[in-house]
Amino acid sequence: MEQDMAGAARVVALGNDGDGIAETLAGRIFVPGAIPGDTVQPGPVQATHAVLERVITPSPDRVTPPCALFGQCGGCRVQQMALPALLAWKAGRVTEALQRAGFATIPTPATVQVAPQERRRVDLAFRREGRRIVLGLHRRRGDVVDMTACTLLDPTLFALLAPLRDMLHSLPGVHAGGDLQINLLDSGPDLLITMDGTPDANDRRILAQFSKAHGIPRISLGGTPPETLALNGPVFHHFDGVRVTPPPGAFLQPARRGEDAIRAAVLAALPTKGLKAGIIELYAGCGTLSFALATHAKVLAYEGDRAALACLKQASGGTRVLPALRDLNRQPVMAAELAKAAAVVLDPPHAGAGAQMAQIVAGKPRHVIYVSCNPTALQRDLTPLQQLGYRLERLTVIDQFLWSTEVEAVCVLKLPGTGKNHRR
């Protein structure tokens, strides 16, 4: 039902999706494009949302969006908000999640924010439109917007988009379109293409030529498992000085500075005593944290993805990393094993730790270091730890998804007491 709004409305908060929350006589409404501190004129309300007709008085934190595609491309929700204010809002989201989890005392978060043009991982869509390829991100609940500008991407990746359009247009295996994931590894861009046709010899020839011409070591075809279509040199990346060969489409933190901040926060949280018992790392991936942790103690690194585990295992020779294949939701590491660890480090997927969290709760390891990419899952997973008496010792908030609503956090938890006294 549509409802007309009359008069100005004060925007008092930002919702989890990045829409302004405005106070009106009819109650609170969401106004996309508005930010806290704005006084706005909202348009007609449909359900709980209204169009922003105009900003009457701008917030002190309102800025001119730096990208010409803002408002069209779905990649950035809040470019109209100054970055320091956006970082403070993200830190507030994490703090509020921890408060809802029951923590009465929350340390002031250390905060890190990456710079523009540091994004080294991107998932794009491409579509044929007449005689051209449109390559970019989907507009909010809409079609693909051609990424002719970007304030986020590393310049190396952005420079690749124009020749990619021409190359994709020439592929016989691309009918209507597909998807493209790019990771900027230390060896160069690593491409994973999903197309709606079956690649033939011509596709492979074109891809091999493109790979060689643009210094791309590997181009792979999406599938289970992915298939290498073009190989033009070694594929490698480094984690804490250890060289690994990530599989196609491997998880990579979106910015190197963000990855460094997460690693530093995790290492700073390790206990100073008792490390001979070893560290248990859950959701280890290709070793983003594993090799750094191994400079302090033996690391039993669990990972459920076979390709990531193979990468980790191949690189772990001569280190104190002991990789193990485990679907942690179907077959979690059990409480008795977790209880013996000097520290449990976990970096779960967006949905959270699932069944694995119940075993952590049952095991009561004294030190838990939780890396979060989702405040909602963070609240759900840490609530039972708070109820057990865990204290939140340290908090780091990392913004490596500029101008979006996504936020990373490293939470350091400790269960007071020693030895048998803390496992009643």
State yes or no: is 373 an active-site residue: yes
Between the two ends of the chain, the Cα-to-Cα distance in Å is 56
State both tokens at 414: 């400790």
Q: What's the rounded Cα separation, in Å, for the pair 255 and 95?
A: 23
Q: Determine whether the annotation assigns residue 129 to a binding site.
A: no
Buried b (16+ CB within 10 A) or exposed e, 204-216: bebbeebbeebeb
Alpha helices for 104-255 (secondary structure H): 155-170, 201-213
Using DSSP, state whether 280 is helix, strand or coil.
strand
Q: Which helix (DSSP H) or strand (DSSP E) does residue 291 occupy?
A: helix 290-293
Instruction: Please state, in angstroms and as integers, the Cα–Cα distance from residue 35 to each residue in 5, 21, 113, 322, 381, following that order.
Output: 18, 8, 20, 48, 30
Q: What's the rounded Cα separation, in Å, for the pair 185 and 217?
A: 10
Q: Determine whether the annotation assigns residue 303 to a binding site.
A: yes
Q: Determine whether the annotation assigns residue 253 to a binding site.
A: yes
Cβ 223 vs Cβ 199: under 8 Å = no
Choice among 76, 150, 373, 411 that is catalytic: 373
Q: Which residues contact 85 (CB under 8 A, 6 or more apart)?
A: 35, 36, 61
Asked, as a colleague might, if the bond just before 248 is cis with ω within 30 of 0, I would say: no
Using DSSP, state whether 242 is helix, strand or coil.
strand
Cβ 271 vs Cβ 262: under 8 Å = no
Cβ 2 vs Cβ 16: under 8 Å = no
Q: Please provide residue 78's backbone torsions phi and psi, each rounded to the nearest 5 degrees.
A: -135, 50
DSSP letter for each residue of 196-233:
SS---HHHHHHHHHHHHHTT-SEEEE-SSS-EEEEE-S
Q: What's the rounded Cα separation, in Å, for the pair 227 and 203?
A: 13
Q: What's the rounded Cα separation, in Å, for the pair 413 and 393?
A: 6
Q: Determine whether the annotation assigns residue 347 to a binding site.
A: yes
List the binding residues for S-adenosyl-L-methionine: 253, 283, 303, 347
List the binding residues: 253, 283, 303, 347
- Active site residue ranges: 373
